[in-house]
Amino acid sequence: MNRQTAILALATLALAACGTPLQRAVETRSTPAPVEDRAAGSPSTPAAPAAPGGYLAGDGPGGDVPANLDEIPDAVPKIEPLHRYANRPYVALDKTYAPMTALGNFKERGIASWYGKKFHGQRTSIGDTYDMYAMTAAHPTLPIPSYARITNVATQKSVVVRVNDRGPFLHDRVIDLSYTAAHKLGIVNNGSAEVEIESIVLNPDTGALARQEPVQSKPLEKTEITPNIAPPAASAATGSNIYLQLGAFKTQEAADSFVAKMRTELGKAGKQISVFIKDGLTRVHIGPYANENEARSTAERLKGKLGFKPMLNFH
């Protein structure tokens, strides 16, 4: 009888294991970054393997790299509707990002990394299947889908990619390239390189390259939103320390851009926005509010308007 009971128990456990869906951990597009800032023993990132390319364990170029990578053509820009949901503000690793909601001239210079087999075949932010051998890229705020020219600053090599994913979110990277795009720019072995990103916009009537005024090309003047030490005045909440946090950023430039977007979307309510520096982050707040109930009800209303729910915050 004991033997039968044991067999039944084992069978039950096996069935339970088979019936449990596998859960994939939330990934960030910063994983295939170079090794120079990923030292072994770092409390925030795992140690990188001693392998060419500087990618993290589990990622890399794959075992069946096509022989004709250099012959794979660049992405061909075409007019596409922006994704309905993927261009809304979002939060990644406790930081709020406000994607551009219109195509326009955009230039940015910074460090590019690449991502490979760890994400190959997975869904991108707009539902595409990520193909590490296609000419694509992930960017935190460029509208998706959109197209951009990426230039290796050191060599002046350029490629055109289709931006169809979000990221990277760590180590101050500005863009994550597909394996092929990184290969054609000559940055696969190093893992990263300084690049210049320039958006490509087509005229909706002719399909030719369009000339448009910049939508996002430089930060706002700092004088517009000088960080506050004390809360702004509010008639019904003078002296209150109750705020809603709309976002937190590592750089003043990112905060400036986000504040400009929030003021546009919130109209008159945008006058209540203020900026505070705390724990090394530039925090964008709105308020103050007379009490927690008022703050929470406002957060619910803003959720419907902005697409994300602000967090309750106390000064």
Average pLDDT over every residue of 198-225: 54
The pLDDT-based confidence of 3 (bands split at 50, 70, 90) is low
How high is the pLDDT of residue 207? Answer: 60
Q: Where are the domains of the chain?
A: 69-212, 222-314
pLDDT digits (tens, 9 = 90+) for 217-266: 333 333 333 333 333 333 345 567 888 888 888 777 777 778 888 887 88
pLDDT digits (tens, 9 = 90+) for 85-128: 899 998 888 888 889 888 888 888 888 989 988 888 899 999 99
**Res 176 pLDDT > 80:** yes
Average pLDDT over every residue of 41-50: 32
How high is the pLDDT of residue 44? Answer: 31
**Res 133 pLDDT > 90:** yes
Q: Say how far apart CA 17 and CA 15 lie, in whole Å.
A: 5
Place of tokens 């002719």: 206
Task: Select 222-314's CATH number: 3.40.630.30, 1.20.1250.20, 2.60.120.10, 3.30.70.1070.
Answer: 3.30.70.1070
How high is the pLDDT of residue 57? Answer: 55
- 69-212 has which CATH code? 2.40.40.10
Average pLDDT over every residue of 186-209: 81
**Res 205 pLDDT > 60:** yes
In 10 A of CB 2, how many CB atoms? 6
The pLDDT-based confidence of 144 (bands split at 50, 70, 90) is very high
The pLDDT-based confidence of 158 (bands split at 50, 70, 90) is very high
Enclosing H/E stretch for 310? none
Q: Where are the beta strands (DSSP E) in the chain?
A: 90-92, 95-97, 105-115, 136-138, 146-152, 158-165, 173-178, 193-200, 214-216, 242-249, 273-278, 281-289, 311-314
Average pLDDT over every residue of 6-27: 37
